[in-house]
Structure 1
Amino acid sequence: MESSWLNTGRGPYTARERELVGAGHAARALAHFRGHAAYRPTPLRPLPALAAAAGVGTVEIKDESGRMGLGSFKALGGMYAVARLVSAEAERLYGPHPGDGRLREVAAAAPFVCASAGNHGLAMTAAVRELGGDPVVYLSEDVPEPFARRLRSFGARVRRSAGDYEQSMAEAAQAARDHGWRLVADSSWEGYTAVPLDIMRGYTTLFAEIDTAPTHVFVQAGVGGLAGAAAGYVRDRWGEDPRIVVVEPEAAPCLMVSAMEGRPARVGGGRTRLGRLDCREPSLLAWRLLARLADAFVTITDEQAEAAAATLAGQGVRLSPCGAAGAAGLLSTDPATRAALALDADSRVLLVGTERAY
């Protein structure tokens, strides 16, 4: 698989993309979180040593490791989507502006279920438990047991799937159909887009907390929810000039392959230690955004991500290799791709440190 690919399908941001993800949606999500006791903007940390190593003007990383006490950007998506889902159900039953009692009554009516590699399940669990509901989280066999223990400590019922992430997703969706549970998936497919779209809109909160426009955004991707949110928001707020680069594990480049083929595609490949990015099929909504709005796709090895995490730790930012994947993409971009992206000494690069070190 190519280590980088310039997106030949790149097109302008339009009202169609704005309807999905944009600055207006981010403003509404930010207003929601400002009413939450645990909300604090996460820091944007300068990384001058990394900038020098990468040969660019500046690098800043949005450090999501402390987000709302949950340790990752996923808190923004899961918590926002659950709140929107419960509020919508309560309004259908009781009319506008249902009180806290009504919201809790609706939340308790049926369990919420998702599949997760750890962080999304934690976000959903925290949101559901705040409302007095019952969260069920399916984990694949590769998810480390410490994630399962942490989920249980927050009040989740954890179920193990015998297969990979896609298998755990299928089992969560089947449980929702069999039992009438609410599915809170962070991926989307034909016929299932409302909840994952709210998750993506929740993610845009982290970009709305940034004041200065970057020239380049390197953002890691599993199914692509964060990358799609970044693309939609960046184009709406800062226009067509910032270059958006999507970073994936070389063993699971589902978004790169999908963009190259012009359709959502499932990829095979080997195994990767980047568990939260080990996704073989893209989110439909993310693919629709990134196929037009991303400028390039790059792949990284596990070793490059691990080295980037060590480099960031030496500069005071402690992230997992998944959390450091954007930095790995920046450091490993080949000269031809750098030239095509105008990545040089005048560049102002934005990275997202998606999760804390575990």
Structure 2
Amino acid sequence: MNQIKVLIIDDSALVRQTLKAILESDPEIRVLGTAGDPYIAVQKIHKEKPDVITLDIEMPKMDGLTFLQKLMRQAPMPVVVISNQTVNGARIGLQALEAGAVDVITKPKLGTDIHSEESRINLIDKVKSAFIAGKKWTAKETSGIGSTAGHSSAGQPALVKKCSLSHDTVIAIGASTGGTEAIKTFLTTLPPSMPPILIVQHMPEKFTASFAKRLNESCSLTVKEAQNNETVHANTVYIAPGDHHMRILRKGAQKVIQITKGELVSRHRPSVNVLFNSVAECVGKNAIGIIMTGMGDDGASEMVSMHKKGAYTIAQDEESSVVFGMPHKAILKGGVTSVLSLNAIAYAVCRILDKDIREG
């Protein structure tokens, strides 16, 4: 495999040096240059032609969000945004995803060996995901096929049969790269009456609260960041807090959420595997599991567990996925009932539940 060529854009020399050291610790990545501001970056982009850019979102001369918007209009390429771990940083980071960034990450933590190793894993995985997404863009441009995300003919919702689910039903969703927009597409299509929905989206701490708030403004369901020990309710969507695992447990007649720190699972915290495992044990055949776009295999093995328990399981198809990693692994492991395009998933779920899709 050819090395992934990365350009680092950050106004801090220390951060540039740190990111370069982290990325080049992986033999599949080569940092071909760094830039202290967007104007220098433009020159290096034209000269070096990187595969992936890491972009500081807060810089002098031209802020990173403005630069990203210009880049996506003039010369689109995979960008991983590096943001401060603040409420404002989270807000701007989500705007960057909407503007076309492939993924967002907080600046690497410096300190303990554990923090350093987790930051290293996270950054390298994000860059590799962005590279895979970029190859998919290039393939579509080369073949003359425009983006058809959400319009695959695979698995039409009319073919999905209704299931004998009960009031005990819970919907569990896992996603990573490209998942913020995929989740938004799914949730904004649903009617206001639905079973509880639990979501693990690989995002940094503080970002999930902002993500939930933005979704709540555009959905007919209530969307919130999950809290430890809260009881789950219908018509509510619970987003796992960044940097924390989320499980669902039974407490008497009620189902409650458990939020814990813990170690990385499948290279992630929150981990889809952690959520899916708890749903398999707590809800069993009354669950619906959905695995969406993302690199790696998080969620794949425990989707098999859900499937074996009798849950109805759905994987997003390759055409509509930004990165067809997690869904593909779940399919290969035999844990998937249906493979559907993004736009078909909400229709399929509503058909399973015998509910009308949201209009408008």
Scaled by the length of structure 1, the TM-score of the pair is 0.30
Identify the structure with the greater helix proportion.
Answer: 1
Between 1 and 2, higher relative CO (CA 8 Å, sep ≥ 6) is seen in 1
Scaled by the length of structure 2, the TM-score of the pair is 0.30
Identify the structure with the greater strand proportion.
Answer: 2
* Bigger-Rg structure (1/2): 2
